[in-house]
Amino acid sequence: MEAEPQRRFQRLQNELSRLIAETPNGERLPSEPELARHLGVSRATLREAMRSFEGQGLIRRRQGVGTFVVNQTHVIETGLEVLESIETLAKRINLNVSIGDLQVERLSADEAQGAALQVSPGSGLVQVTRVIHAENRPVAYLVDLLPEEYLSPEELKRGFRGSVLDLLLTHEGYKLAESKTDIRAVSASSEIARALQMQRGDVLLLFIAQLFAADGSIIDYSYSYFLPGYFRFHVVRRVSTSH
């Protein structure tokens, strides 16, 4: 942005910050057309300014319903050096999380899934899809895909609390070794926006991961969508001594 447009955008964010701070928790903000007219900006500029507040977890935008102020009291914060489940991280800060919209289904691996799990196309797989809730709202959309020999649908029906990782850690037939993860910022699709009660196109953090056993086999392939305002990830990096 050039200097003057940037200043105008900053003033817009300041006005929105004041409005959000003055609005009681759970109350709905004025509609987008009304708010855009009041602030003298286009709806596209207003949406762009609102994204940062949603990313901080201060507002919640629901497609076709409106934008609500959120009284967020917890943020799940963790380093990326150690793989831990949402449930483990939430327990550490005394945050209650629950599982919703659980779907477990058997699939036959297509070529892409077979390549991701290093199995032959047509191999039996189990897909586990669920939404994780915290503070009375959905905060993560998780999908795990596993070869059926590692985890059956029947096992998932016995006391599954939402974490495939925690369930795999209890198995004695193999030892988990490491996870390789690709991290991206993505726009929410219609399906995921509905599941997370947000606006289609809003930004999410996406982790695409392969979970390896000690023998090098891939036990789990997952993609996890996180609301940025409820999760804060950091990395401790070693300083290079080479010149």
Which two tokens mark 16? 């929105």
CA-to-CA distance for 232 and 243, rounded, in angstroms?
Answer: 32
Backbone angles phi, psi at 32, to 5 degrees: -55, -50
CA-to-CA distance for 106 and 146, rounded, in angstroms?
Answer: 10
What is residue 72's predicted lDDT score, i.e. its pLDDT? Answer: 61
What is the average pLDDT across 168-195?
A: 90
Query: What are the pLDDT digits (tens) for 37-71?
Result: 988 899 888 888 887 787 667 888 777 788 888 76
| Of 167 and 135, the one with more pLDDT | 167
- Predicted structure pTM score: 0.78
Q: Which of 23, 28, 27, 50 is nearest to 39 (CA)?
A: 50
What is residue 10's predicted lDDT score, i.e. its pLDDT? Answer: 82
**Which stretches does DSSP call E strand in 33-190?**
59-62, 66-69, 76-79, 97-108, 124-134, 137-147, 176-187
Q: Which of 126, 171, 175 is nearest to 152 (CA)?
A: 126
What is residue 1's predicted lDDT score, i.e. its pLDDT? Answer: 46
What is the average pLDDT across 115-122?
A: 96
What is the average pLDDT across 8-34?
A: 86
CA-to-CA distance for 118 and 111, rounded, in angstroms?
Answer: 10
Which two tokens mark 166? 């925690």
Least confident of 15-24, 106-115, 116-125, 212-221: 15-24
| Of 132 and 151, the one with more pLDDT | 132
Least confident of 16-20, 25-29, 123-127, 151-155: 151-155
Least confident of 33-42, 107-116, 205-214: 33-42
CA-to-CA distance for 136 and 164, rounded, in angstroms?
Answer: 22
Q: Mind listing the domains of the chain with CATH numbers?
A: 3-69 (1.10.10.10), 76-234 (3.40.1410.10)
**DSSP element (H, E) containing 158:** none
Which two tokens mark 237? 């990096």
CA-to-CA distance for 203 and 206, rounded, in angstroms?
Answer: 9
Query: What are the pLDDT digits (tens) for 134-152?
Result: 877 888 999 999 999 888 8
Query: What are the pLDDT digits (tens) for 89-109?
Result: 998 888 889 998 899 999 999
What is the average pLDDT across 23-28?
A: 86
Backbone angles phi, psi at 88, to 5 degrees: -65, -45
What is residue 238's predicted lDDT score, i.e. its pLDDT? Answer: 83
Q: Which of 12, 49, 140, 224 is nearest to 58 (CA)?
A: 49
- In total, the chain counts a number of residues equal to 243
Please list, in sequence order, all residues whose beta carbon lies within 8 angstroms of the beta carbon of residue 93, skipping any fewer than 6 positions away.
74, 76
What is residue 128's predicted lDDT score, i.e. its pLDDT? Answer: 95
Q: Judge whether residue 17 has pLDDT over 90.
A: no
Q: Tell me the β-bridge partners of 226.
A: 140, 205
CA-to-CA distance for 140 and 196, rounded, in angstroms?
Answer: 7
CA-to-CA distance for 33 and 126, rounded, in angstroms?
Answer: 45
